[in-house]
Structure 1
Amino acid sequence: MIESKYGAARVSDAITTRSEISIEPVTDKRGRAAFVDCGRAFSARLENFVPQIRSEQIELVDPNKNPFFGHGRAQLFIAHRGGRAVGRISAHIDELALTMPADQGFGPGTGFFGYFDAEDEGVAHALLATAEAWLAGEGMMRVLGPISLSIWEEPGLLVRGQDHPPMIMMGHHPAHYAGWIEAAGYARAKTLYTYDLDISREFPPLVQRIVQSGHKNARINVRRVDKSRWDSEVQIVLGILNDAWSDNWGFVPFTPEEVAYAGKKLRPIIKEELNMIAELDGRPVAFMLTFPDVNDALAKIGGKLFPFGWIHMLRWLRYPKGAGMRVPLMGVLKELHNSRIASQLAFMMIEAIRQEANGKFRSSRGELGWVLEDNQGMLAIADTIQSKINREYAIYEKKLG
């Protein structure tokens, strides 16, 4: 028996440990800080990990600050053994995810686990059992994870690509977690890829011809995001995003509150030259966002702004010279899906960003992702520009009861 203040979680004798494991629910501000510190301690053990800013990590699990909690609820748990934190997990429910069609991955009765860290397999299984018990008590019949907390934040467990540092807003996990999760009865539900791209070289001739053809089309205009009209531009991107992604596996609408929150957080790293909106006949129909990899700077300051890290960070924000570039989001309105013009707009935006990243910012490396394993359009684009898979994330599922 693994004792939990939330409730007893039964696990098989094969995975219990000699010392008692106590799993306690987080109930206050101090507990949330301890939850984050537990995760930071595990991350610090990993090769190629990049320390993040602690206050921002705490904010993500604070119901008063993260707008995810406007449509979701969560219970955080910390595992202790001998008075020492040896693991953590979140169990959470997204009310918007419950309203989505079941054939799109989520739907009624689907809950989630996330923020998963464990010292050994016994702790891992005890934490998973505790999260499952909480979700079942809330009426859930199925669990997916790890997703921390929103699908728009950090979905999936890194199962390939631990040999190089993660880029901005990318999870980084030890390879052995996958075996522990699978041994607890989970099966892979979906695979997500990221693609590595050498942006110091020109794209293949086929892509160049497609881009040149687009520039000759008077109906098409690819322009930079205008930060002087930031709120308006954010709304344009939100409208395209929620339409373009609405049929994708795991889609949950990005709420206006989440967009405002993300916009405020990301604005300091947004460079107009690296973010594009494509217009067709004067109407915005596509976008592509690119973030300089702030992990380059965080690695140098050890994730600490004080006492002097903020000086380096300010300098980096002004001119992130040589930084890697990540494309986390792009979208084309559904009415244009499966059309030639959709791929043309994508190539035009990618090429415009590549030129700016390589020319103005002296960047040589880009990364695209996440990309769903069955997103044939994006897979084809990634292949055409000769990018290569460099990371693989897995989302697991399990029936409850």
Structure 2
Amino acid sequence: MASAEISIIPVTTKADRTAFIDLPYRLNASDPHWVPPLKADVAELLNPAKNPFFEHAEVQLFLAYRGGQVVGRISAHFDRLAWTLPPEQGMGPGTGNWGLFEAEDEAVAAALIETAEEWLHQQGMTRVLAPISLSIWDEPGLLVKGFDHDPVIMMGHHSPRYQAWIEGAGYGPAKTLLTYDLEIAEGFPPLINRIVASGEKNPRIRIRRADKSRFKQEAELVFHILNDAWSQNWGFVPITQREIDYVAKKMKPIIREDMLMIAEVDGEPVAFMLTFPDMNRVIKPFGGKLFPFNFIKLLLWARKPMADRMRVPLMGVVKKLQSSRLASQLAFMMIEYIRREAVGVLGAKTAEIGWILDDNQGMIAIADAINSKVNREYVIYQKGL
């Protein structure tokens, strides 16, 4: 489309889809910090029959060919739920996205982005936020800082060349997402310990583990808090009941009761914190393949994971308590309780918190208070059509 030697085709066949999934393994093979995702997980992400994102979104995948070889890929998509949000929250009517972006060189990148923009424009979109792969809840943003270390579970890792190519296509930053690195083996500063101790003396507060014997109810509780807590955040799109059921079923094998804390005040659940052992350390040598024997290794690890690194992907306090001293106290208590378990039971030494919006002053203050440092930055770009 954009070049005589580059052809862009829509993904329509099983072979196309396989080529779409396989491409990153070739393009990123020389990057020592790229963690090959499990191909089965990528296939499920792209499967409308399994991923409930497709129930409220339209997605078109594209492949770039040159000289008979696949040299790039991109998804173009829009989320109808995102249109229901006010534009000042980042989404809003007419907003489309592209993502799952991989390109061999700048010419391929330009052709792919142009094709995605054309498709979005034909669907009535007037603005692009990208890269978002596929949902804002999956892997949003392009890595622009932190190329020198492996990503943790459910975080993206991209070629450092992509930033210039995307900006060269006319995109400017809309929002920066931060992740924070944290040493946890030795505990937190004295002030944080005093805040936690004070909360432990307060009879109104209870911090409890999740109960996996009631996993469906616990998952619904957590996502109810999440939808309320994040409802005014930039980029927020509500999680549907079908998505709650899907994610809960998918995540149940790797969620530990001691890594999911729920805070109650006067008997009412008002906050939660979810932490995962970093499964990327386990799956990196798999090369994206579970069979014939890697699934056994993963199953054995999931039953009794030992992990020196953790990730805190989600945390939320109900809206009515946000900006209060109690909200911060609950956050510090959940962080400390999970830290104790992660260090004492799993042998954890470090953790990563995020992502956190660069203007979320409350969460940034909490991250600063426990002496964590920014270790990666992701940018979500925007452009008018």
TM-score by length of 2: 0.98
**Is 1:235 the equivalent of 2:212?**
no
Aligned counterparts of 1:393 and 1:91: Cα–Cα separation in 2: 19
Q: CA deviation at 1:323?
A: 3.7
* CA shift in 2, pair 1:323/1:301, >3 Å: farther
Aligned counterparts of 1:239 and 1:30: Cα–Cα separation in 2: 39
Q: CA deviation at 1:44?
A: 2.4
Name the counterpart of 2:160. 175
- 1:175-202 Cα shifts (integer Å, max 9, x gaps): 1100000000000000001001111011
Name the counterpart of 1:158. 143
Name the counterpart of 1:328. 313
Q: CA deviation at 1:322?
A: 2.8
> For the Cα contact (< 8 Å) 1:32–1:62, is it kept in 2?
no
Give structure 1 stretches of 5+ with no counterpart.
3-10
- 1:100-136 Cα shifts (integer Å, max 9, x gaps): 1000001011000001111111110110000000000
**SS at 2:222 equivalent:** helix
Aligned counterparts of 2:134 and 2:127: Cα–Cα separation in 1: 16
Q: CA deviation at 1:46?
A: 2.0
**Is 1:214 the equivalent of 2:191?**
no
Q: CA deviation at 1:318?
A: 1.5
Mapping for residues 33-112 of structure 1, pairs under 5 Å: 33-112=18-97
- 1:131-158 Cα shifts (integer Å, max 9, x gaps): 0000000000000100000000000001
Aligned counterparts of 1:300 and 1:183: Cα–Cα separation in 2: 35
Name the counterpart of 1:6. none
**SS at 1:386 equivalent:** coil
Aligned counterparts of 1:64 and 1:390: Cα–Cα separation in 2: 37
Name the counterpart of 1:5. none
> For the Cα contact (< 8 Å) 2:64–2:73, is it kept in 1?
yes
Name the counterpart of 2:124. 139
**Is 1:205 the equivalent of 2:177?**
no
**SS at 1:223 equivalent:** strand
Aligned counterparts of 1:271 and 1:300: Cα–Cα separation in 2: 24
Q: CA deviation at 1:82?
A: 0.4
**SS at 1:239 equivalent:** helix
Aligned counterparts of 1:22 and 1:62: Cα–Cα separation in 2: 25
Name the counterpart of 2:177. 192
Aligned counterparts of 1:47 and 1:136: Cα–Cα separation in 2: 37
Residue from 308, 327, 330 that aligns with 1:342: 327
* CA shift in 2, pair 1:255/1:43, >3 Å: farther
Q: CA deviation at 1:319?
A: 1.5
Aligned counterparts of 1:361 and 1:344: Cα–Cα separation in 2: 25
Residue from 203, 215, 237 that aligns with 1:252: 237
Name the counterpart of 2:348. 363
TM-score by length of 1: 0.94
Name the counterpart of 2:99. 114
Name the counterpart of 1:7. none
> For the Cα contact (< 8 Å) 2:278–2:307, is it kept in 1?
no
> For the Cα contact (< 8 Å) 1:301–1:312, is it kept in 2?
no
Residue from 334, 352, 359 that aligns with 2:337: 352
**SS at 1:360 equivalent:** helix
Aligned counterparts of 1:199 and 1:80: Cα–Cα separation in 2: 47
**CA RMSD between the two structures:** 1.0
Q: Which letter does structure 1 place at the counterpart of 2:50?
A: K
Q: CA deviation at 1:327?
A: 0.4
Q: CA deviation at 1:302?
A: 3.2
**SS at 1:115 equivalent:** strand
Aligned counterparts of 1:240 and 1:29: Cα–Cα separation in 2: 39
> For the Cα contact (< 8 Å) 1:21–1:123, is it kept in 2?
yes
Q: CA deviation at 1:99?
A: 1.1
Q: CA deviation at 1:370?
A: 0.4
- 1:22-56 Cα shifts (integer Å, max 9, x gaps): 00001133322221111332232322111221111
- 1:184-230 Cα shifts (integer Å, max 9, x gaps): 00000000010011110110011000000000000000000110000
Q: Which letter does structure 2 place at the counterpart of 1:105?
A: G
- 1:258-288 Cα shifts (integer Å, max 9, x gaps): 1111111111111111110000000000000
**Is 1:264 the equivalent of 2:249?**
yes
> For the Cα contact (< 8 Å) 1:39–1:115, is it kept in 2?
no
Mapping for residues 11-22 of structure 1, pairs under 5 Å: 11=2, 16=3, 20-22=5-7
> For the Cα contact (< 8 Å) 2:274–2:312, is it kept in 1?
yes
**SS at 1:89 equivalent:** strand
Residue from 304, 311, 316 that aligns with 2:296: 311
> For the Cα contact (< 8 Å) 1:296–1:323, is it kept in 2?
no
Q: CA deviation at 1:357?
A: 0.2
**SS at 1:92 equivalent:** strand
**SS at 1:170 equivalent:** coil
> For the Cα contact (< 8 Å) 1:47–1:162, is it kept in 2?
no
Q: CA deviation at 1:65?
A: 1.2
Matched residue pairs, number? 385
Aligned counterparts of 1:360 and 1:164: Cα–Cα separation in 2: 25
